């Protein structure tokens, strides 16, 4: 080879293929790294939306809902894999204790489980049930029973729902406790629970105003619902309120602007109390009591006192009772004159609130949702049969308070609209749903309620009630037909025949018997006021027959859980309700007052007088209440009568004594 010739090196084929592969690998690696970087950057943008969805669907523990966790719960969340093992062991032990009926041990272990697994609603539900039902009935004294019932309520309301705010099961269980354990009458001490709850709510909200229309009652409560949440900001924006609160703290008044003030107002600023006469009866050394009354009842302070009370009441409802005043107001506007001293009102609140809070939740249990809505209907039906609360509180001994309930047919139209509204909401996509009905699952209860309501409207009487009763009967003819499409024969009957045909069957239950007897009494009072003495006597005879028929079957009710009130007291309560009713003109009340006997006037005078004075003042032109409704003679002596004492309060039950 010559010196000028060049040497050409030919890369072996296998080495060339390797080099080409290496170049491709580097390109793939560079592309992969670029793609991974882009994905990481993109993931950063979607992280917040994903976390928000996880919180909404309760897939993680929402830090906003558990801010300020107890140290034990915060520590339990950091146990890692040991936590899962501890939960398994505790659950096995927990189930064995339940099977063995060891309720106290199960309760203690459930407390540990709620700390280890606060997002598991089943533990909260069982622990609440265990306290309200199993542990409470182990005691005889109503005070001890009520303590455990309220412990069960707080377990769900203050803790379980705090960590599981969109768990429909917990709302359902909470509504059930209020409806079944307190509002119903199956527990031996159900009346004690009703009294204690009513006293507690009256401490917070004060004595209800003289019975107003539903719109007026909602308007008064709106002041609480719209009250500022920030106490300091409120005082800064209202110099008059700030000066008033500062005066409260002076040593001669010494009423702190919290539950202390609310309790004093509830106890002493009442229509039935002659304030300064009561003050005069106290020891002369108690000058502070007199000064407190003088300060709070000063007409110049009325406006600022009401503003301060509204803010305090709103704060107690929100922070201590976990009740949203705005939602309470919405229920009063939608469903009528809800009395928050009654347990059924709280069942209505928690069932409707739970339905609202869980609406649209991912993987919502349809059966729990449907059954939660059922408590809305159950609560409103209680409003219809037991909606007018007659209550004389004993703040020192709440279980000695006087309480009873009267029907309130004002809730019937609201209940009808609620059935249609929630029935469509639950079942509008169900092929069996019929427009204008409550849906397939609520159908039976809905139609049975309509039949009961027809009887209640008819017995109470009045042109508007009878018109609505006939409309309901026409509705049944149209929508509750035989499977072949034919009208049911009993719906063809005239309204009166249809009602009386159902009375004997209805007298089998306590609630309907109470409504029937009171309905006849109410109708009788209307007729007596109008001068129809014969009609009055006929309705009273019917009331007595129904009363005796039901009570004859109650000889085995040794605990008096389902016995009706004494007949004379029932009639006195119905008469009192007549004079409190917003639907009767003051002249109708005057006509009835002149026709009832002296003993009945004496029985109801102390409770009825503030209402009668209010109706006279509202009349156009105003009337002289002292002349229209003079105090019955012999009141001082009659107040010592045993029947009067029974009307005003129930006998004391000593601690540990079973009725």
User: For residue range 93-124, what is the model confidence (pLDDT) as tens digits?
Assistant: 777 877 777 777 777 777 777 777 777 888 88
The answer to whether the beta carbons of residues 188 and 659 sit under 8 Å apart is yes
- Residue among 148, 330, 335 at smallest CA distance from 221: 330
Residue ranges of the chain whose pLDDT lies below 50: 1, 65-66, 68, 274-281, 285, 650-659
Domain residue spans in the chain?
Answer: 16-56, 209-324, 507-648
Which pLDDT does position 483 carry in this prediction? 81
Which pLDDT does position 655 carry in this prediction? 32
b (16+ CB within 10 A) / e for 171-203: bbbbbbbbbbbbbbeebbbbbbbbbbbbbebbb
Give me the helices (H) in 155-227, please: 161-163, 168-176, 190-205, 214-225
Give me the helices (H) in 57-80, please: 71-76
- Residue among 433, 430, 429 at smallest CA distance from 420: 433
Q: Which residue has the tokens 């006849």?
A: 520
Evaluate the omega torsion of the peptide bond into residue 122 and state whether it is cis, within 30 degrees of 0. no
The number of beta carbons lying within 10 Å of the beta carbon of residue 627 is 8
Which pLDDT does position 653 carry in this prediction? 33
User: For residue range 596-653, what is the model confidence (pLDDT) as tens digits?
Assistant: 999 999 988 988 888 888 888 888 788 888 888 999 999 888 888 777 777 665 433 3
Which pLDDT does position 648 carry in this prediction? 61
């Amino acid at each position: 080879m010559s010196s000028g010739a060049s040497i050409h090196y030919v890369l072996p084929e296998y080495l060339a293929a390797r080099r080409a592969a290496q170049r491709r690998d580097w390109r793939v690696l560079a592309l992969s790294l670029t793609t991974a970087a882009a994905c990481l950057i993109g993931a950063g943008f979607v992280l917040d939306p994903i976390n928000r969805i996880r919180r909404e669907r309760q897939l993680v523990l929402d830090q906003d809902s558990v801010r300020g966790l107890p140290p034990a719960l915060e520590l339990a969340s950091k146990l890692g894999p040991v936590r899962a093992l501890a939960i398994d062991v505790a659950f096995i032990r927990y189930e064995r204790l339940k099977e063995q009926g060891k309720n106290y041990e199960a309760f203690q272990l459930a407390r540990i489980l709620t700390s280890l697994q606060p997002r598991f609603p089943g533990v909260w539900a069982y622990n609440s049930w265990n306290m309200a039902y199993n542990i409470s009935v182990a005691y005889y004294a109503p005070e001890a029973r009520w303590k455990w019932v309220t412990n069960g309520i707080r377990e769900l309301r203050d803790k379980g729902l705090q960590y599981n705010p969109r768990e429909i099961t917990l709302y359902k269980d909470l509504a059930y406790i209020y409806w079944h354990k307190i509002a119903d009458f199956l527990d031996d001490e159900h009346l004690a629970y009703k009294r204690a709850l009513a006293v507690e709510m009256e401490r917070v909200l004060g004595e209800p105003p003289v019975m107003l229309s539903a719109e007026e009652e909602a308007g008064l409560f709106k002041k609480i619902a719209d009250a500022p949440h920030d106490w300091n900001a409120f005082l800064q924006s209202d110099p008059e309120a700030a000066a008033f609160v500062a005066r409260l703290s002076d040593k001669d008044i010494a009423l702190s602007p919290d539950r202390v003030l609310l309790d004093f107002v509830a106890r002493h600023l009442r229509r039935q109390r002659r304030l300064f006469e009561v003050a005069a009866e106290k020891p002369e050394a108690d000058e502070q009591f007199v000064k407190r009354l003088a300060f709070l009842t000063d007409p110049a302070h009325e406006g600022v006192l009401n503003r301060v009370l509204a803010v305090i009441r709103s704060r107690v409802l929100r922070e201590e009772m976990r009740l949203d005043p705005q939602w309470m107001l919405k229920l009063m506007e939608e469903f009528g004159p809800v009395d928050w001293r009654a347990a059924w009102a709280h069942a209505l609140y928690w069932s409707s609130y739970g339905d609202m809070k869980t609406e649209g939740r991912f993987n919502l249990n349809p059966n729990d949702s449907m059954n939660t809505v059922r408590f809305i209907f159950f609560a409103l039906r209680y409003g219809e049969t037991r909606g007018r609360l007659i209550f004389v509180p004993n703040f020192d001994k709440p279980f000695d308070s006087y309480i009873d309930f009267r029907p309130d047919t004002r809730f019937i139209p609201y209940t009808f609209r609620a059935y249609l509204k929630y029935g469509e909401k639950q079942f509008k996509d169900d092929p069996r749903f019929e427009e204008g009905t409550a849906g397939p699952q609520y159908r039976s209860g809905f139609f049975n309620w309509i039949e009961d309501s027809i009887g209640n409207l008819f017995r109470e009487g009045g042109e508007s009630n009878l018109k609505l009763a006939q409309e309901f009967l026409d509705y049944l003819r149209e929508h509750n037909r035989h499977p072949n499409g034919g009208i049911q024969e009993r719906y063809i009957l005239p309204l009166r025949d249809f009602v009386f045909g159902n009375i004997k069957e209805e007298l089998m239950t306590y609630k309907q018997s109470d409504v029937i007897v009171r309905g006849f009494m109410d109708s009788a009072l209307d007729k007596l006021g109008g001068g129809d003495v014969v009609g009055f006597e006929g309705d009273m005879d019917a009331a007595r027959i129904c009363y005796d028929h039901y009570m004859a079957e109650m000889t085995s009710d040794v605990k008096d859980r389902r016995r009706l009130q004494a007949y004379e007291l029932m009639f006195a309560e119905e008469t009192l309700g007549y004079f409190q009713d917003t639907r009767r003109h003051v002249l109708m009340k005057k006509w009835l007052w002149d026709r009832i006997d002296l003993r009945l006037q004496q029985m109801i005078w102390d409770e009825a007088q503030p209402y009668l004075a209010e109706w006279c003042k509202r009349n156009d032109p105003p009337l002289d209440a002292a002349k229209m409704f003079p105090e019955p003679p012999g009141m001082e002596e009659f107040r010592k009568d045993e029947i009067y004492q029974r009307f005003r309060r129930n006998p004391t039950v000593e601690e540990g004594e079973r009725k």
